[in-house]
Amino acid sequence: MKERYQQTIEYLFQQLPMFQRQGPMAFKKDLTNILALVEALDNPHQRFPSIHIAGTNGKGSTAHMISAILQSMGHKVGLYTSPHYRDFRERIKVDGQLIAEDAVVEFVDTHQMLFDRVRPSFFEIGVAMAFWHFAREKVDIAVIETGLGGRLDSTNVILPLLSVITNISFDHEQFLGNTLPAIAGEKAGIIKPNVPVVIGETDVETAEVFQRKATEQQSPISFADQHLRAVLKKGEVHFSTYQVLMREEVLYEDLRINLTGTYQHLNLQTVLHATANLPAPFRPDRREVANGLARVKALTNFIGRWQVLGEDPLIICDSAHNESGIRKVVFQLQSIPCRNLLIVMGAVKDKDLDKLLPLFPTGAKYYFARPAVPRGLDQYILLEQAGKFGLHGAAYGSVKEALEAAKKDARRNDAIFIGGSTFVVAEVL
């Protein structure tokens, strides 16, 4: 079965456009294909309730935290996220368990004639497979993360119990628009008639966009950061402890989550407010919230966000890859008590390096590498571009070589960070 699975994955990767590997050429701006797929599959997405999550940053963390809380309540939970790091099956999980290899093979084999007729993208097939799997597994509820945007995203055929939009910042401007209101308009496309929507972060440039769309759809709308404030009390290697305030009254004095990264307080606020707005069967009590958040990684198989890979020296990776995400990660990097900071970095060709590179610290030593995907930016080009912004180091033929060089150079009390692209992180997990 392992060989058959690898053949199936190669078919998906090579025969169908895939944004993760190929970039803009794989992007489709309509729902025609996904609608044809789900209709042919007898509309599996209509057989389970769902929560829909969009936003520029924090979608994955938010989705995994909500899933963990629902699992702690005893629900059987489907979780669809993207992109994956090492294995396609990471995208489709039930109670943290990756979809089985034989299920992936079965789905593709059974419906190959359908794919030949519809010619869907890689992403469209993945979404359809997730819906099919969740329906067959009879999940109690599914947490569905969008890919790009929202309005024309393949996941946007569901009618959820709750819509969640984490935040808006610049990313994928070539598809979503060059202004924050334009990007917000695309994300707001997941707001459905009479379905409550929670916005994670209030922004003066985008709040009106969400308010207007919610009014059009007669959807109750609320902003998490106007109701809750999560304050980091203690940050450990594998856990963070927060005080959570609601209108300045203490809601949780010591809420422990096994996710780190100082930016997680924003996602935590969103998660707590979102789950409080779920209908009764899925609305958790305080104990269920605490139990779920304390075991996010174990319950959901969560990887790739401010993940500690080693402690002597400290080695951390994070998949932040746009301006807002990198800004938050670099802020936390600069708070790490270390003698020297060593950064293993790679990028993809379609990123605006003039916006991203100035965010990185000039005092670090850099190890530039090309991610092993067609979109990967040549390490020597990255080295040259980074030098313009005072980021200096050397170029390496692979992420593995770059990391090995950083480990060799690291001394006691140094720290190594690996990032710049999801694909760089994928090669070290």
Angle 101-110/122-136 helices, nearest 10 degrees?
110
Report the C-alpha gap between 145 and 51 in whole angstroms: 8
Report the C-alpha gap between 212 and 193 in whole angstroms: 13
Instruction: Examine the domain organization and report whether 291 and 312 are in the same domain.
Output: no
| CA distances from residue 118 to 84, 161, 285 in whole angstroms, order as listed | 24, 29, 45
Residue that is last in its domain, among 300, 315, 340: 300
Q: 18, exposed or middle or buried, with CB in 10 Å at 0-12, 13-18, 19+?
A: buried
**Confidence (pTM):** 0.91
Instruction: Examine the domain organization and report whether 294 and 311 are in the same domain.
Output: no
395-404 pLDDT tens trace: 999 999 999 9
Tokens of 269: 């606020």
Instruction: Examine the domain organization and report whether 58 and 101 are in the same domain.
Output: yes
Is the predicted pLDDT of residue 187 greater than 60, yes or no? yes
Instruction: Examine the domain organization and report whether 61 and 200 are in the same domain.
Output: yes
Instruction: Examine the domain organization and report whether 276 and 340 are in the same domain.
Output: no
Instruction: Examine the domain organization and report whether 397 and 267 are in the same domain.
Output: no
192-248 pLDDT tens trace: 999 999 999 999 989 999 999 999 999 999 999 999 999 999 988 788 999 999 988
Please tell me the total count of domains within the chain: 2
Residue 165 maps to which CATH number? 3.40.1190.10
Residue that is last in its domain, among 257, 283, 300: 300
Instruction: Examine the domain organization and report whether 111 and 21 are in the same domain.
Output: yes
pLDDT at residue number 235: 85
Helices of type H across 122-263: 122-136, 173-176, 180-187, 207-217
Instruction: Examine the domain organization and report whether 264 and 382 are in the same domain.
Output: no
Range of the domain at 367: 307-426
Is the predicted pLDDT of residue 25 greater than 50, yes or no? no
Specify the higher pLDDT residue, 375 or 45: 45
Residue 398 maps to which CATH number? 3.90.190.20
β-sheet bridge partners, residue 228: 246
Instruction: Examine the domain organization and report whether 169 and 76 are in the same domain.
Output: yes
Query: What is the H or E stretch that residue 198 is in?
Result: strand 197-199
Q: Cβ(175)–Cβ(149) under 8 Å?
A: yes
- Of the pLDDT bands very low, low, confident and very high (cuts 50, 70, 90), residue 164 is very high
Instruction: Examine the domain organization and report whether 78 and 15 are in the same domain.
Output: yes
- By DSSP bridging, strand 197-199 and strand 162-165 are parallel
Tokens of 371: 């991610």
HSE-up (13 A, CA, CB side) for residue 162: 25
Specify the higher pLDDT residue, 365 or 57: 365
- Of the pLDDT bands very low, low, confident and very high (cuts 50, 70, 90), residue 350 is confident
Instruction: Examine the domain organization and report whether 232 and 329 are in the same domain.
Output: no
Residue that is last in its domain, among 300, 321, 338: 300
